[in-house]
Amino acid sequence: MKIKNLIIGLCGLTLLSNCSEMMDYNEIVSYDKEDIFESFNRTESFVTNIYGQLDYDFGNYGNGAMLASATDESEFAWSISNIHDFYNGAWSPINSISSTWSNSYAAIRAANLFLFEAKDQTFDEFQNNKDYFEQMEKFNRYQYEVRFLRAYFYFNLVREYGNVPLVTTVLTEAEANSVSQSPAEDVISFIADECDAIVNHLPVSYSSLNFAETGRVTRASVLALKARTLLYAASPLLNPSQDVAKWRAAATANKAVLDSCAEYGISLGNYTALWGTENYKAGEVIFARQVGDLNELERNNFPVGVEGGRSGNTPTQTLVDAYEMKATGLAWDEPGSGFNPSKPYEGRDPRFAMTVAKNGDTGWPNYNSRALETFTGGVNGAPISGATPTGYYLKKYLDATVDLRPNSTNSKRHSWITFRLGEFYLNYAEAVFQTLGSADATDATFTLSAREAVNKIRQRSDVQMPELPLGLSNEEFEARYMNERMVELAFEGHRFWDVRRWKQGELFSEVTLMKLSQNPDTEEITYTRVIREREWSDKMYFSPIPDQEIRKNNNLVQNPGWN
């Protein structure tokens, strides 16, 4: 271009600045592809980012609502949160609430990109580095870690949406816009096959390796992912014909977890060890999603009326009712349970007090010098905005030593438990019960009965609930099992999915709340149970695929009922 040459000539004449230098001036500091995959450190960072996509729920929804508040475990105190959309009729493809779809595919793309680009890297430039071989050892393991992560994200997708596109390459725009869904069954097989393929390439623990690390995928994590996936695959939602072979596969996979944990020294410990700053090291933890120092969880869940607390996820009476009487092992409303209506919280399953803060509790949180008043007119009760609608506040997962007072604010380390042994005893119990047909049955493979597996949970050191008795009918066992699962895994992100895979969505059509009123003279509390209805529809077994996705890609099919 002549004129351009003229400009360059003129620039030269003016001697003011070098022309092309001026036009090329750029402050870019980002990396290109080669910068990433030809460097150990940046390749590691690329993998780190995929880990960083792992989900945890210290309040993923509006104003700090946890998914638990979309179940009968909890009611969210603030009307402003979109968590209520799950049950107030507002949930739809155009208000899909969850971001699992986009988040998972973003993580899956990163995994696919890594597996494609990093495949044959040898980092020759670094060959003379002292730690080259150690670095290579680490690097060679990344592909298996990444494959695990990809399988894990597919589990999240299949659990929520059923049939989803199964993508294992880096897609172009055109490919992404025309991809079809794979049947849920195929996605499940993919996850299980991937787990089988990588399990032996991952270490039992990282602590003894050259690079002592925590929070990475271990061999037990892989077994756990497979076991949980197969449990979902066998459950009524994905196994409508109730093919027992699927239950057997689930039982086998969960047994493998129990056996491996025994071998690797993973065993049940205290219930309260499941949260707090050191929970990622708790004896029964298989994989914890390590997060870091934070206090938002506490800020969003400490009671209002406590300085800095703004309340949020409040345990329901429905959950409280699930805590049996410790002495008898009976539900509160069963005859002979020992329940005292004037002291309704005495003698309950110890996990109740560990999970739920109630009226009159002291030292919750530690810096609060007043006893909790959750009754109407109380310091922590209605009608203050944000006061608990259920009569209770949440304790589980919260760190009582977090201080939110302006002059002594602190943050504490938190980790979200992705897999822990307790879940797999329950998974095993469910799968074995379904495979063998009774709570007490055993066979040559499954020498531990379903009932015994549940009792392991009940017998943990700081719980010590009476054992489930022998000879329960199948209906009785099923009810006791489901109750146990609700209690044990409360607020750990299971209930939302468990009730769906059991196809028992009707359970979510109401929750029970407790209204406490105090007689000002006698200071006696009156308890009034309040039923709050919620909308349930069977289409909710699977989440709606975001409306835009269906419109952008004609090959995608919306989940039933959401059209």
Q: Is 88 in the site for another protein (CB under 8 A)?
A: yes
Of residues 113-172, those binding another protein (CB under 8 A): 113, 165, 167, 171
* Gap between the Cα atoms of 13 and 316, Å rounded: 80
Q: Is 531 in the site for another protein (CB under 8 A)?
A: no
Kindly tell me which residue out of 7, 245, 262, 557 binds another protein, with binding defined by CB under 8 A.
Answer: 7
* Gap between the Cα atoms of 223 and 190, Å rounded: 14
Kindly tell me which residue out of 115, 176, 209, 331 binds another protein, with binding defined by CB under 8 A.
Answer: 176
Kindly tell me which residue out of 115, 136, 179, 204 binds another protein, with binding defined by CB under 8 A.
Answer: 179
Tell me the DSSP string of 375-408. STTSTTSTTSTT--SSS-EE-TT--TT---STTS
Closest-CA residue to 96 (of 560, 550, 543, 452): 543
Q: Give 4 or 343: the residue with its C-beta nearer to another protein.
A: 4
Q: How far is the CB of 98 from another protein (least distance, A)?
A: 12
Q: Is 23 in the site for another protein (CB under 8 A)?
A: yes
x-or-dash string of contact with another protein, 410-449, rule CB under 8 A: ---x------------------------------------
* Gap between the Cα atoms of 196 and 405, Å rounded: 50
Residues near 239 by Cβ (< 8 Å), separated by ≥ 6? 233, 246, 247
Taking CB under 8 A as the binding criterion, the range among 42-50, 127-135, 424-432, 481-489 that sits at the site for another protein is 42-50
Taking CB under 8 A as the binding criterion, the range among 211-219, 230-238, 353-361, 416-424 that sits at the site for another protein is 211-219
Kindly tell me which residue out of 193, 213, 467, 476 binds another protein, with binding defined by CB under 8 A.
Answer: 213
Q: Is 15 in the site for another protein (CB under 8 A)?
A: no
Q: Is 110 in the site for another protein (CB under 8 A)?
A: yes
Q: How far is the CB of 156 from another protein (least distance, A)?
A: 14
3-state SS, one letter per residue, for 88-128: CCCCECCECCCCHHHHHHHHHHHHHHHHHHCCCCCCHHHCC
Q: How far is the CB of 42 from another protein (least distance, A)?
A: 6
Total count of residues recorded for the chain: 563
Residues near 241 by Cβ (< 8 Å), separated by ≥ 6? none
Q: Is 305 in the site for another protein (CB under 8 A)?
A: yes
* Gap between the Cα atoms of 59 and 106, Å rounded: 21
Q: Give 335 or 383: the residue with its C-beta nearer to another protein.
A: 383
- Number of residues counted as binding another protein (CB under 8 A): 92
Q: Is 479 in the site for another protein (CB under 8 A)?
A: no
Taking CB under 8 A as the binding criterion, the range among 10-18, 335-343, 352-360, 395-403 that sits at the site for another protein is 10-18
Helix (H) or strand (E) run with residue 562 in it: none
Angle made by CA atoms 60, 418, 49, in degrees to the nearest 5: 70
Taking CB under 8 A as the binding criterion, the range among 175-183, 266-274, 320-328, 332-340 that sits at the site for another protein is 175-183
Closest-CA residue to 232 (of 255, 207, 218, 249): 249
Angle made by CA atoms 269, 481, 245, in degrees to the nearest 5: 105
